[in-house]
Structure 1
Amino acid sequence: MSDGALTVLDGSHLRAIDCSLPSPASDVALTGARVLEIADSRVSSCHFGLSLPQNLKSSALRRINILDDAVFRSSQLDPEQASDTINLYITAIADQLKDDPLVVSILDGKTLRLFFDDEDDFAMLAEDLFTDLDAEDKGKICKSEIRNALLRMGIEMGVPPISDFPLLNDILKKHGADGKEELGQGQFAQLLQQILQELSEVLAEKNFVFIQNIKIINGSKLRKLLADEVQLGKVVEKIFKEKHSGNVSSGVAELTRSFLEKNGIELGLPPSEANEAVVLLYDAVFADVQNNKSATELERDEFASIVKEILGKFAEQLEANPVFHDLDQ
């Protein structure tokens, strides 16, 4: 893995996971808490040591009808029950990730090593950081400003947050980066290089994995809607009613597109304004709509059939080419 690269966790790696109980637990009763601990450990080992968000694990428990977490954790399970629960729980996590994948980045030191491969790049980086930190333009900064330099570099340059990666704090202490002595630009660059060099080596041995605030829209929610005739009927009814409040000459495609651009997020579509890829997605789907009669010319059943066809095309397109939506933007 290389720094900055996005990795999608969609549950596929969990399908073949070992769900057997570890010895000697295979022949004794276990608490529900211990069973979940074993399962979570197996899942984490498949995901670079990452602990999955609690809301995801809670959703997985609900999928297997464990609605009261506290009661289950205190319950006793025989070995067969424990093994079955581990299997069901891990499968539920895989299903949850298939519907709503996580996007992670892995810092392994490679980005930092790129700076050392090019002396000019590193010199420019050190100069820019020093200039930014030398607010009073004295030509010197306090040694402890190294922490702020790393903060400014951030994840984008391969530096994990100090609060989330304690080993970085150890490196800073080792190099006396909390001292109050003042450093010139050359001394600052030398200290920064030593710290980043050691950090890159530590990250190579112990990767830092973090979840990006990115939503993958892959059509899973739409497919569930299309499989639910009752909910689908309610959506069609809402769009059908739009013809009475809009332009009576509007075609069914135009009417449906207008509705989806305003309400698509609730149905599992990406925000229409998210990025150019979404605009192209809408254009591609509606370019294929053959019937664009005026909405007033259509009976409800024919109207519903066209809307279902449009939603089906969105689901197909998103399954083939999921949209990555950065929630921070």
Structure 2
Amino acid sequence: MKALVLVDHPEEKIQLLTIEKPVPTKGQVLVRLKAAALNRRDQWIREGKYPNIQINTVLGSDGAGIVEEVGAGVSSSLIGKEVIINPNIEWGDNPKVQSKNYRILGMPVNGTFAEYVTVEAAKIHEKPAHLNWEQAAAIPLGGLTAFRAVFGQGQLAEGQNILISGAGGGVAQFAMLYALAAKANVYVTSGSEDKIKTCIALGAKAGFNYKGEDWQKEALQASGGFDVVIDSAGGDQLNDFIKMMKPAGMIVFYGATNGTPQKLDMFRMFWNQITLQGSTMGNDQEFEQMVAFINQHKIIPILDSVRPFSEIISAFDAMKMGGAFGKLVVGIETELLI
């Protein structure tokens, strides 16, 4: 089968290769993939910026397809089912935090940038009927990360004010779609006026360009303060968020691309009962809840582009360049094994 493999090469770190088709073992299913989507994680692995890099691994955490075979102990009734894949592996028994053995599909375990993938039968969920293959494939990692941040950690409720930073990112866009479905008052930040306009067209009340000097004052005046902030950058802007929070507000961050703040306004935090909450991709129960939420509200993921599997490396290059709005997706068509 064709697969995108991380290799030990000085320049071409990822290569489309022909490798052996996997066979489902006990408790597993074999999924014939119809589409897969990229995440920042994939590009970071390509650049060697992810921990515990393992060469000769098939990358990819997001995917949707059809169950083609089942392993021992798995009902044959699953064969032919259209599914999306939960990329969690060994979250553990505590729903609040992942176990020490936790890992994600697509490195170190072979992932979805291939014609076939084997996963635990418990990790497949019925594809939402209102979505096509490319839309469904865009959900898993980014969608689950946003769902946990917005609801599991942020406890967002109808009518509350939520600020989502960096609205050009995939997780941020899922957070926006979820918050809109929950009937919250949604505000966004971005360094792009075009992206802000797009978010407003999708239902956000307002957007603020973080490159401007007074965007914080503008945001506070427009909103009256925020109950929840969802952020992936960290850095000194955390203090800006603290100043904009309503009493007992929640700042949820799922990344720290800008590093740690030089100082943290702890006085304002304790006096106003502000919570700073870390978050990651969600647990297995949250994945199930997320799929139900997407089905209930007929949420459609935002896609930037769809290209054939043969051009997947160009999708990595596009992610590296930046500027995309929505998920980068590849369609996968199974060919005869060589």
Normalised to the residue count of structure 1, the TM-score between the two structures is: 0.24
Q: Taking structure 2 as the reference length, what is the TM-score of the superposition?
A: 0.23
Quick check: which one's strand share is greater?
Answer: 2
Over alpha carbons, which structure has the higher Rg?
1
